[in-house]
Every structure is written in C-alpha cells, then in structure tokens.
Structure 1
Amino acid sequence: MSTTSQPRFYAARLVGTTVFDPLGDAVARVRDIVVLPQSRGAARAVGLVVEVAGKRRVFLPITRVTAISPGQVISTGVLNVRRFEKRSGELLVVGDLLDRAVTLTDGTGGATVLDIALDQNRHKDWEVSRLHLRRPRRGSSLSRLVSRGETLTVELNEVTGLYGTQEEQSAHLLAASYQDLNPADLAEILQELDAKRRIELAGELADERLANVLEELPEDIRVEVVTGLDATRAADILDAMDPDDAADLVQELPEQVASQLLNLMEPEEAEDVRRLLAYDEYTAGGMMTTEPLIVAPETPVAHCLAMISREALHAALASTVHVCRSPLETPSGKLLGIVHFQQLLRERPDRPVGEILDNDKVAVGPTAPLSAVTREMATYNLVSIPVIDEEGRLLGAVTVDDVLDHMLPDDWREQDEPVPTTGQIDLSEIARATARDTAKEG
C-alpha cells in the first residue's frame, strides 16, 4: 500500500498475498487482478483471481474485498467456487498487461510495463493509476549490453498502448509466473488463454515441462498447440513425452502432420510410437507405455531402489520392477516376473531380485480389451500390469492412470467440480477443511 492517504497497491507485489476471512483464517492466495478498461483510458478492478484449496483458481469480486494492505487481503468470507473464466472485455493485470510495450507521450520513446498501481477513488473503486516502467538504455551498443535500462514511474495518462494493439506481454514472464505450478494446474490455465497466447506460452516452456502439460490437456487444445509450434520443436516435444501419450497425440493429428513429426523424431522414440500405433486405442497395446522399469534377475535390490528414486519416473511406473532375460529394452527377453516396490523395501540391499519374484504371474496380451485389463488389475490390486507377446516377452506395461484416462469421458478435463447448489461457499469452511486434512496427514 502507498504511504500516502490515498489507498494504493501494486499488482505484481500483491500476487501471492494471503486472503483471510473475517475470523482471520487464511483461505486463499491472490494470483491476479481482473480489470475492465473504461472509455477514458482508465481501468477499473472488478475482482481478484484467487487460488483456494486444491489449487483451484476462482473469482473473488472486488465488492467482497474489505481491505487490502501489505501481506494480506481481507474478504467477507463468501465466494463463488466455480473455476475462473475471463469474460469478454476483461484483462488480467499479470497475465495480460505486465511487460506490455507502451509509448511515452512526451516523445522519449517506448518502455515496458514492470508493475501497475491501482488506487482507490472517492467512490471506493480500485482503478489503474500509475505504471512502473523500464525503457531501453540509450547510448553505445556496449552500454546497452551491460545495462537493462532505466526504470521510472508515470501516471497512466503519460503513456499510450496499454490496452491497445501493442506487443503482447512477453510469454517468458508469463511462464516464469507459473513456474511453481504442477502440469495439471498449468494445463488448466492454458485452457483459459486465447489461442495466440497459448502458443506463445507453450513456446517458452522447456520440452519436458510442455510434454507433461500436453498430457493433461483436452484433445483439441493439445492438437492446436502442437500444430502451432515449429515442426522441429513439436517433434522434440513428442520425444520428451511418454511413448503411449505421444502415440495418443499423434493419432489425433492430421495424417500429413503426424507423418512429418514421426520422421523428425529420434529414431528410437519414433519406433516406440509406431509400435503403439499398430494397436487399437482401447486395448492393452494401445494404452501401454514401452518404457517400464526392466532389470535382469541378478540385479541387486539396492540398484532397483536407486532406479525407482529417479524424480522423472511416474509414481505408477515406480511401483513395479519387471525382471526379464536379456535384452532389457522392450520388446525384451522372456518376462520372469515382477517385484513390487514394497517388497524391495523389505529385502536386504544385496539380494538379487530374481530370488524375490511375485508368485502371481499376472500379465495381459497386447490385444486384451480395456475391460479385461481393468478386471485383472482390480482382481490383483495392481497399479500397473505387464503386457507380453505370445512368446512371453515384455512389450510394455499399462498403468492405472492410463486406464482411468480411457474409462473417463473424453471431456473429463474440461468438467468443473461439483459445487453447492447456491454456487457459493463460506471461505472459513475451506480453511477449516484444509486444517482438518493437514491434521490427518500429520
């Protein structure tokens, strides 16, 4: 807040601030400010985008905010819990305006928006009032290399282009603001952006990061993203994806695009995808990953545990080690059996895994339908199941998340969670529920 008598806050500094209900319980965190541009150049804040329990982003109307001060936002405690969706004409201060290029009206050139101040007027409305800017350093090429330029704060009427057709917010800054989100949450945000911004943001994400996000997106949006990228980059993303997810995506692409990307992929990765494309989508072969954990029978338990501890390994795949004859890549030599993670924890580190194989040699063939796969997994309480050919060689493994993806409706990622019939919830209830869950975990 400003130290002057006029209430003021800066948008970028407000992001991450805790929202409290009237009882003092922390119920959410601020993630953005929603503004509506006015006819005379100003923009009025209409609400905040806040994140409640479960990483859900919802809209908190500004009329339900009773105070904004350093380190805290106080609300009335009542909130509509439907997922936030930006309405026509609305802008997100962080998502749309920060780092936008503007032009100074004094003729000194352009600048970039670093932060935006909102003041409360006599009608108690919050309005965009001042901009904190950075403009390029003038002078020699060397001076521009060693300095990012001067910063200055100006009144809103001293610039043009803030809401117009100026260069959009840099996707780099937008990506940085979302770096702490898990792939599913970032995928939800990508769905809220327009197509152009979606491609810009995707272009700023690292290959592994974007690959994980694409796996969480609805079919139409991930096709849009992949076809909007440069072909070489799109092929790199497919390389980074799990083979089964890459195969699902390739199936959704136009035939000509799919063929081009397969030819640009790394040969080994492309071969895995082509093998999976040979099977129907709703069979074990169509659902399986070709990269399960595979070891030889003489491998010690300690080595298996080290393989499982890799951060990049999905939890479902980490649950099971497949013990096979050489070769140890799919299609492998004969599958001897599997060993579950819990069993490994109970054995001495130097014991060969071939001595502790699971007695239930459960596996399915690549043409087994979804119903057969789910029945076997449910019967034997498995989170993954081996897929073998007629000669007993391991082709891959189907994990429980793959099964759920195929059992749920195609649009399950786009469906909102159930909400109370009134569409509202007391924020203090969220706080109390979160406290109860934390206590249980403790």
Structure 2
Amino acid sequence: MLTTRPRGTNDFLPGETEKWQYVENVLRTICKDFGYQEIRTPIFEHTELFQRGVGETTDIVEKEMYTFTDKKNRSLTLRPESTASTVRAYLEHKLYALPQPVKLYYIGPMFRYEKPQAGRFRQFHQFGVEVFGSSDPGLDAEVIGLAMGIYHRLGLRGLEVHMNSVGCPQCRPKHKEMLQEFLKKDFASLCPDCRGRYERNPLRILDCKNEKCQEITAYAPTILNCLCPECREHFDKVKHYMEISGIKYLIDERLVRGLDYYTKTAFEILVNEIGAQSAICGGGRYDGLIDSLGGPPIPGVGFALGMERIFPALESQGISLALESPLDVFVVTLGDEAGKKGFQILMDLRMEGIKAEKDYLGRGLKAQMKTADRMKAKYAVIIGENELDRGIGIIRNMETSAQQEMPLDQAVDWIKRQY
C-alpha cells in the first residue's frame, strides 16, 4: 500500500504537468484581462464555515466532506469548494472597505468523499472566480463570458451554456409550497435523500440524479413561474447582456445547482464529448451568502470549473496544446576537463534564462546525442578534449543537423541571440 496512491487521487507526471501549466497560464492571463486578482486560502477551514456556507441539505455537507478533529478538539474540514473560503477571507480581511466590486480568482485542490469515476475524484482541482459588491446583472454575464473565454482560448468547440433563475427568499416560499404540494402524492416513492429534503429544501429534489426521482419531478412546477418582479427583471437583464456579448444560451428550468447558497442566476457550461460528467463549469449569483456568514448584506456572483474535466474534453476534440519545447540546449562533453567546461557553459546558459541540460552518466558521444534528440533540444553544444584544447565548441542545430565551430567564450552569447 505504501507504493499505491489513495483511491480517487492522481499523480501528475512530467509530460502531464506541462499541460496543466499551460492551462493555468491561460487561466491567469484571461483573469488579468478581465481585472481579476488571485487569492489563496487554506486547504482546511473550520467545519462550520462549510455547514453554513455550502448548506446543510447539500450532498457535500451531508455525505462528502473530509472532516477531522485536531488536538484541541476543534472540527476542521478539507475544503470541498472555495466560495465559502473566499467569502471568509473577504470578511476577515475587510476587503469590503476596498473599491467595489472586488474581483478574485483561485486555483487549487478540493476534497470530497464520493465514488471515483471518469472526471470525478476525491482530490480534484478547481479554478474559480468570485465577484463581491455589486448586484448588477452585467456581472452575471461577465463571469459566464470569462468562463467561455477560457474554453475559446483553449480551442474547445460545441459548448452549451444552460441558465436558470433560482429566485430569492421572497419568491422561493411560493415555489416551495407548490413543489411540496406536487410531490406529496409521490412522497413515499422518493429516494431517502429527497424525502429528507422535502421539508428543508424541496428545490434540491430537482437536482437529484436518482432515476425514479427524476421521473417523479419531470413535470414539477418550476421556479421561473414563481419569480418575484425583482428576480424576473434581473434574469431578463442577464439574458440581454448575454445577447449583447454574443453568447448563446439555453434556458433550463430544472437547473438548480448542488449548493444551497445560490440566488437568482444559476448556470452550467456543458460539453458532450466527455460522457456523463458533461458539465465542465457551473456557478451563479449568491446575494445572501456573505450575510449568512456574519457579514454585511453584500451581493456576490461567481463560478468554478473542474480542471480534470478540461483535458478529456481537449483530447476528445483532438486539440493539442502548443507546449513550449522542454529544452533549448544539450551540452555534450567528452572527458573530465571538457565536462568541467561544459558545466560552466551549462550554468551560464541557465542564468541567461535558457533551458539547458547535460549528461551526468559518462556516456559516449552517440548516446548523448540520442538523449539530446529525445529531449527535443534545439541545439547541442559539443565539447571534446580536442575542442577544449583549441578553445572552441561545436554548435549543432538539432533540427537541420547544420554544425558550426564557435569560440567557447562566445557560445553563450551566440545562443542567447537565437532566442
């Protein structure tokens, strides 16, 4: 067991990590373009933060959290998501005193104890954005546009934006009453989880993946029929901003998301090529979350996307990321004294920001050149004892096989000019 990773986790090896770095760079670049700044929060938080923030009727809180007690008997939880943590940091550090809205993003690992399957893991990675301090419906469309911009820059096609409004505390009671009345006759046929949600939060029953529950709720009354004037106006404006931005969308009246804190806008982005886990991004507005965690009544909106779901989607569409060459120069040396000079050139190259490597196994010329080729080096600098005596090296273009002699004290500057 010591040589086997825990179930539901992954090792990302060289060759894969470069792809992650590429995507992360795209994420950071687009956030900079949209005016978002990075926030980094702890891997674990006080358990109550997620109980109050995520919602006690959610699957996350009821079934999936990794919770433990520390040496002072305090209950702590590995973060299952980052919105609650970001809100906590916003309040603790009084970011509401800054010019609003405050626009933040995060990238990091999350933890949920659930059945591992394609695109779903117990340790997974999320990128997300959160905007605090404005109820403007234009921000709802902006965060959706940011998410779509990420996928556009990565080259993904065939994406669908599904949107809904889940109302607010003013209009939800009416829908709750209608939904409970509709479900009453089939209450006994609901799954145990949904019977527990019937009184506390029947809206969550619409999100159940149980086939029988989906069949029962197929014609259930939807929240769109119950929206108060404010929520209806807000949703109409969000749709208008989406149309202005040229982003096509579908209205999905069953879309409620899996977290209790959403109000008004909820959305998901789907791609069909990755199977059952077709939702690769989801989010919405949560105007009551900050005050539910002890802060002032400040509105918020955001989304999170699963990093692990990006790569199967790219692969299914045959998209290759334009990764940088892993190596610029391989220094080939033959003999101890040549090895010392080669090491000096190696370090000088690296100090100039040039990716360089050399042989440390004492192999011959042919084996070293094969290694340089396998590592996709653009150039090889070859130094043998004969070249060292003459104070020159041979620079070989690995793509064209062209070679030229170069004074060793000029080799670094010449290579630097090639980049």
Q: TM-score, normalised by structure 2?
A: 0.22
Q: Quick check: which one's helix share is greater? A: 2
Q: TM-score, normalised by structure 1?
A: 0.22
Structure ranking higher on relative contact order (CA contacts 8 Å, 6+ apart): 2
